[in-house]
Structure 1
Amino acid sequence: MGVRTGGNPHSVDHDQLWLGQGGEIFIKTDVQRAPGHRDARRLRPRPVESRIDDGKMFGRGTFDMKAGVAAIMVAAATAASQAHRGNIILALVADEEFASAGTEEVLRHFTADSAIISEPTHEDVVIAHRGFAWFDVTIQGLAAHGSRPDLGIDAIAKAGRFLAGVDELTKKLAEDNQHPTLKAGNIHASLIRGGEEISSYPAECTIPLERRTIPEKTPTRRTQSSRPNRPPGKHTGRAKDAPPFLLT
């Protein structure tokens, strides 16, 4: 069957699977799309074309997550073809990088006792991972013609002072209390948007930030520790938060 949320389709199938005295297990992976390289057409070999070299497959998304998708589909089909008890739920979901809307939508329709996620781990056992918070920080200036510095306030120039604070915070987090497995949390500026044209002062500049968090950091502490020094002026922002986890 398929379920849909926010315009992204999610594929779900289920069959009977032997699992002890019976029960339900999720086998899950994501099918997100990643942006291609801006010069992909000129690169050789082309990253969007898969190839097999020395028994290994290469190409955009081969490792994460086409290999995981293929693996769980083969595993589910093999299990379903044999005598079994219990249920297996095969879920291919979108939106893995941001709000996990695909997984949340699937869980509205199905439940399970356990789950296997085919995220590549280089065959290591994963017991913890970082959480994240995404912030949009908008620094506001005042639009004016480039010949009128007496009227204009350059939002992009002021954003530079904010980014310097982000760099200082990055160094501070690296020296903070570290998790035994995940080490330190971190923060980085992912994108920057601002201005309308070269001949005018930019009225605003928006900087999306990503803050990667470690277990035992509460949402309040994550927010408080993610505040670089602000430049003068008005600031607005929005955020999306997902907690880290630790398997004990």
Structure 2
Amino acid sequence: MGQVEIDPAEITRVLQELVAIPSVNPAFEGGCGEAGVADYVKQYLAEHGIPYMEQLVEPGRSNIIGMLPGQHPGPALLLEAHMDTVQTTGMTIDPFAGTVTDGRLYGRGACDTKGSLAAMLVAVAALKRSGLPLPVGVHVAAVIDEEYRYTGVSRLAASISSGELSYCGAVVGEPTGLHRVIAHKGCVRFYIDVHGKPGHSSEPGKGVNAIEQMAEVIRYLKEEIAPLYALQEHPLVGAPTHCISEITGGAAPNTIPGSCRITIDRRTVPGEEPLEVWQGFKDRLQELKQNVPGLKLTVQEPFIIDYAMETSGSHPLVLQLASAVTGYAEGRHEHGAAYGTDASKLARVSVPSVVFGPGDIGQAHTDNEWVSVQEVVSAASALAELILHYRRDGM
């Protein structure tokens, strides 16, 4: 079977055009949504004769799924990347210029994760132009809302669960430096509220200071709960963690604070269920209440739940992607990650997934975000190679 050549000039052009389209998630400052990028993806696919479907997720925000058929019937291979970015506030470069300097293309989303999206689009377009028969069908899904609530991939997962779409595996685009991330953490985020008794600050003994009571809760989380995480060390992603990421409390400088709230960001490892983790916090804090006089608290329902993910290193997708990457980038390995991705939602509906793409996660969300153009070219080349030689049943 032949080989498909990826044109660096096309990679550069497509990535510059994607970066030039603002797609800040509406949850963030200046958020305009992904509609402009979705229109671009539809146009790009249409220009290359690749049929696509549009999944409306919420008003003005849709997933776009391009589809190339394979020689043999059966589940397709999925390439998935998100279209949204974080805010551009505080950037030290023009976030939409797509300037190329010393082989680096700069702009918001260049690394996270329009580089991956460009690689996927150019790879399938090159395959289409080549006319080579594909052993497996391939879908490219450009989805919304990865940076906030994962509604885009959740809609895609629902279509998989219902049988509308069927996949034998998924490559999820994120900046991994062309390494293969086969496990990552999940998270559960929730509030803990402490309820005090307000009063005049000149007589603090006549009230119950919610901030001081919360200090006991914070101490307990650090000294009693956090040390237990070492018992759950995972070989690829490490131990669970929690972070107290926000705190609010009090009403005025001269008032005993009657309330205090903290936000908990608890990162889970493969094998943990987020709701069970949250329930564990509730149970342990009930024990604390019995030991701290006057402590009244509420552990609120989670406002964000995401899942950890793990795919076997011996899965055919992992092995075949490793083989495909070898020809374009040396020294790449299987890794775990502390962050979360769309891959976990696909894994929950039985689609084995690998996170893979150009760029360094350390460049994501930065004030001068960039990605190596050559790495995007290598990613596209490896994806084309993977698709051309993919076998659902292994090597």
- Under a length normalisation based on structure 2, what TM-score does the superposition of the two structures give? 0.53
Higher helix residue share: 2
Task: State the match for 2:212 in structure 1.
Answer: 157
Instruction: Pick from 299, 313, 326 the counterpart of residue 236 of structure 1.
Output: 299
Which deviates further from its counterpart, 220-229 or 72-81? Answer: 220-229
Contact 1:17 1:80 in 2 (8 A): no
State the 1:136 CA deviation. Answer: 1.6
Q: Does 1:69 align with 2:117?
A: yes
Shift of 1:72: 1.8
Matches of residues 9-158 of structure 1 in structure 2 within 5 Å?
A: 9-18=61-70, 23-36=75-88, 40=90, 45-46=92-93, 48=95, 50-83=98-131, 84=133, 87-97=137-147, 99-109=149-159, 110-113=164-167, 114-158=169-213
Residues 62-87 of structure 1: CA deviation (Å, up to 9, x unaligned): 22112122222222332333434564
Could you say what secondary structure the match of 1:176 adopts? helix
RMSD over equivalenced CA pairs, Å = 3.1
Runs (5+) with no aligned partner, structure 1: none
Q: 1:192 to 1:54 in 2, by over 3 A?
A: same
Deviates more, 1:114-123 or 1:223-232: 223-232
Match of 1:247 in 2: 311
Alpha-carbon separation, structure 1, partners of 2:220 and 2:62 = 40
Residues 151 and 69 (structure 1), Cα distance of their counterparts in 2 relative to 1, 3 Å cut: farther
Letter matched to residue 193 of structure 2:
T
Aligned-residue offset at 1:27? 1.5
Tell me the SS of whatever aligns to 1:190.
strand
Q: Tell me, which stretches of 5 or more residues in structure 2 are unaligned? A: 1-52, 313-395
Q: 1:132 to 1:119 in 2, by over 3 A?
A: same
Deviation, 1:28, is 0.8
Identity %: 23
Q: Look up the SS of the partner of 2:112 in the other structure.
A: helix
Name the TM-score, length of structure 1 as normaliser. 0.79
Distance 1:237 1:87 in 2: 45
Aligned length in residues: 243
Corresponding residue SS for 1:57: strand
Equivalence map 1:211-230=2 (5 Å): 211-218=266-273, 222-223=277-278, 226=281, 227=284, 229=288
CA offsets 1:205-235 (integer angstroms, 9 cap, x no match): 2212111122233557634664465562232
Residues in 2 aligned to 1:217 and 1:71: alpha-carbon distance in whole angstroms: 33
* 1:161-176 equivalence runs, <5 A: 161-169=216-224, 171-173=226-228, 175-176=230-231
Helix, strand or coil at the partner of 2:146? coil
| Structure with greater proportional strand content | 1
Tell me the distance in 2 between the aligned counterparts of 1:35 and 1:173: 36
